[in-house]
Chains A and B, each alone.
Chain A
Amino acid sequence: MIRFDKVVKRFGDLTVLRELDFHVRPGERVTLIGPSGSGKTTILRLLMTLERVTSGTIDVDGQCLSHMKRGDRLVPADERHLRRIRKKIGMVFQQFNLFPNMNVLRNITEAPVRSLGVPREQAEEKARELLEMVGLADKALEHPSRLSGGQQQRVAIARALAMEPEVLLLDEVTSALDPELVSGVQDLLRDIAHRGDLTLLCVTHEMRFAKDISHRVLMFDQGRIVEDGPPEQIFSEPAHQRTREFLQAVLDA
């Protein structure tokens, strides 16, 4: 489903990802852990085409993210190519990023209506189902700013799901929440993860949550994968010193 091949990402002089190779199978749920600044967010942003690779290639479903075929030459991807790929991918941000110029319902329906051409009524019906699922059926006509952080994040999750992505990217989606609101969002994501065949890439510092939802954990440090394995193994008997230190630090926090 997703393949990183020798991906290098630099910001100016700073090398954030160093020849990164990994791949994720369809339906697989992978959690990325690692110290702050190790490049986890950058990986998700590259996938969402919010950044471009410096070198190397990323494939999604066999299609290259940065280039496309024209005749039998490879040329840089144009907007249409990017949009074909983005269609498969959804993302939920740490800061929710709900649109403040729309109410909750509209936040969820606008993208299906505008970018997929779904009739508005059908989109609204779907949106109400999603709101039901995230436990906010009564908030459809509220303005986002009148919801708590946890509620806003649940709307953002519904909004991403409304586009029916094959891959969902979650970037520290509970980090900006007050502690008492974290579990509500995590429970929801656990449900979503276990329900379907969604491919999930999740960055989190909540190790319990990571253990619950993921098939595989990737431990990053300084733009490289230092350890890759099932959560039981990584959390209970990490093979690398760096992973042990990191887990210890997270536990102490």
Chain B
Amino acid sequence: MTISPCSAELPGTFGEAMPFLCKGAVITLQATLGGSVLAIAIALPVGLMAMSHRGAVRAVARVYMEFFRGTSVLVQLFWLYYAMPILTGFQLDKSFAGILALGLNLGAYGSEVVRGAVRSVSRGQREAAIALNFSPYHRMRYVILPQAFIGMIPPMNNLLIELLKATSLLSVITVADLTYQGRLLVNSGSDQLIVFALLLLIYFLFSYLITLIMRFVEGRAARMVGRDGPQGRPRRAWRSPRPRRPVPSVEIPSVEIPSAETPSVEGAR
């Protein structure tokens, strides 16, 4: 018989705690997901704006980035949830306020990541695109960004884990996330050691999950820019077999080009 990890049938403190922690975990995941989507949606345009040749556009981006990096998420959260209704008479839903604060804050860091990755694409690539008469938009869209993408992934991975951890701040405005549920359980008499240990474990599993997802995305991206795979973009039209390794795997892959005319061994045929 299998018992769900969220089941109340579990023995002792586990049975007491897990149903609540699971509920909280769902909220935590939702906040992480919402915050990530928002952060990425902000980071891309703002990161590009920070490199605009128009001073005013750059200034707007910089002000946003410096402001949200320079103030704490918690204080931003207080403003969005408690201060804004006083100023504007408009009360945000607390989960929404939480996601907004997380997205705005991590979006500011993400903008820096985007900017750094775009700048790291070699000048030769940009110049080749100019020489081929691409418009500035097409240069960015089809040449620079696809190559910059892979460089964004490891730092984005860190940011998303930061974001996951920062969701625990939402408990302060009584969003019923994982941390909130844990503290509630402890306050109502559950074994502290076990509950806090479960919190650690669940947060850790989630952050590990983020890392796994990002590694997968990174692998895909690497293959797209040919770092470790055979083909470029038109994957729909043509699927290549994975490069078959020679049987004794001692060969170094980069010595396979003896002369200019050698037909490809691993080609499509």
Q: Which residues of A contact B (CB under 8 A)?
A: 48-50, 79, 83, 86-87, 89-91, 93, 95, 97-103, 105-106, 110-111, 114-116, 135, 138-139, 141-148, 150-151, 159-160, 163, 180-181, 184
Known: A48-B131, A115-B135, A141-B268. A101 touches B240 (CB 8 A): no
| Residue with the highest number of chain B CB atoms closer than 10 Å, among A79, A90, A101 | A101
* The residue from A49, A103, A139, A146 contacting B130, defined by CB atoms under 8 A apart: A49
Output the least CB separation between B196 and chain A (Å): 46
Chain B residues whose C-beta falls within 8 Å of the C-beta of A89 in the assembled complex: 131
Pairwise interchain contact A146-B260, C-beta atoms closer than 8 A:
no
Can you list 21 pairs linking A and B with CB atoms under 8 Å apart?
A: A79-B136, A86-B131, A87-B133, A93-B127, A97-B122, A99-B129, A99-B143, A100-B227, A101-B143, A101-B225, A101-B232, A102-B232, A105-B234, A106-B233, A114-B142, A115-B134, A115-B135, A141-B238, A143-B232, A145-B226, A146-B257
Output the least CB separation between B237 and chain A (Å): 9
A141 to B239, CA, bound (A): 10
* The residue from A90, A150, A159 contacting B260, defined by CB atoms under 8 A apart: A150
**Is B224's beta carbon under 8 Å from chain A?**
yes
A136 to B242, CA, bound (A): 22
Known: A93-B128, A97-B128, A101-B143. A146 touches B264 (CB 8 A): yes
**Is B138's beta carbon under 8 Å from chain A?**
yes
A137 to B232, CA, bound (A): 17
Chain A residues whose C-beta falls within 8 Å of the C-beta of B136 in the assembled complex: 79
- 9 interchain residue pairs of minimum CB distance: A103-B232, A111-B132, A97-B128, A101-B146, A91-B131, A143-B226, A97-B124, A145-B226, A102-B232
Q: Which of B214-244 contact A (CB under 8 A)?
A: 224-227, 229-234, 238, 240
* The residue from B122, B146, B233, B264 contacting A138, defined by CB atoms under 8 A apart: B264
Identity of the chain B residue whose Cβ is nearest the Cβ of A156 in the assembled complex: B128
Output the least CB separation between B218 and chain A (Å): 15
**Is B147's beta carbon under 8 Å from chain A?**
yes
For chain B, which range describes its interface: under 10, 10 to 19, 20 to 34, or 35 or more residues?
35 or more
Pairwise interchain contact A111-B133, C-beta atoms closer than 8 A:
yes
Identity of the chain A residue whose Cβ is nearest the Cβ of B238 in the assembled complex: A141
Chain B residues whose C-beta falls within 8 Å of the C-beta of A145 in the assembled complex: 226-227
**Is B267's beta carbon under 8 Å from chain A?**
yes
* The residue from B132, B142, B231 contacting A141, defined by CB atoms under 8 A apart: B231
Chain B residues whose C-beta falls within 8 Å of the C-beta of A101 in the assembled complex: 143, 146-147, 224-226, 232-233
A143 to B238, CA, bound (A): 12
**Is B263's beta carbon under 8 Å from chain A?**
yes
A143 to B226, CA, bound (A): 7
Identity of the chain B residue whose Cβ is nearest the Cβ of A185 in the assembled complex: B260
Known: A106-B234, A114-B142. A160 touches B268 (CB 8 A): no
**Is B259's beta carbon under 8 Å from chain A?**
yes
Known: A106-B232, A110-B142. A95 touches B225 (CB 8 A): no
* The residue from A144, A151, A159, A160 contacting B226, defined by CB atoms under 8 A apart: A144
Chain B residues whose C-beta falls within 8 Å of the C-beta of A151 in the assembled complex: 260
A138 to B227, CA, bound (A): 21
Pairwise interchain contact A100-B225, C-beta atoms closer than 8 A:
yes
Output the least CB separation between A196 and chain B (Å): 19
A141 to B267, CA, bound (A): 8
Chain B residues whose C-beta falls within 8 Å of the C-beta of A163 in the assembled complex: 132-133
Output the least CB separation between A42 and chain B (Å): 13
Identity of the chain B residue whose Cβ is nearest the Cβ of A85 in the assembled complex: B133
Chain B residues whose C-beta falls within 8 Å of the C-beta of A105 in the assembled complex: 234
Chain A residues whose C-beta falls within 8 Å of the C-beta of B147 in the assembled complex: 99-101
Q: Which of B85-131 contact A (CB under 8 A)?
A: 122, 124-125, 127-131
Output the least CB separation between A222 and chain B (Å): 25
| Residue with the highest number of chain B CB atoms closer than 10 Å, among A86, A95, A103, A163 | A103
A180 to B260, CA, bound (A): 9
Pairwise interchain contact B260-A142, C-beta atoms closer than 8 A:
no
Output the least CB separation between A29 and chain B (Å): 19
A163 to B134, CA, bound (A): 11
Identity of the chain B residue whose Cβ is nearest the Cβ of A94 in the assembled complex: B124
Output the least CB separation between B200 and chain A (Å): 40
A50 to B232, CA, bound (A): 27
Chain B residues whose C-beta falls within 8 Å of the C-beta of A139 in the assembled complex: 264
Question: Hey, what's the 0/1 contact readout for B167-189 against A, CB within 8 Å counting as 1?
Answer: 00000000000000000000000
Given contacts A91-B131, A102-B232, A141-B268, 18 further A-B contacts (CB under 8 A): A83-B135, A97-B122, A97-B127, A99-B128, A100-B232, A101-B143, A101-B224, A101-B225, A106-B234, A111-B132, A111-B133, A114-B142, A142-B267, A143-B230, A143-B232, A145-B226, A146-B226, A148-B260
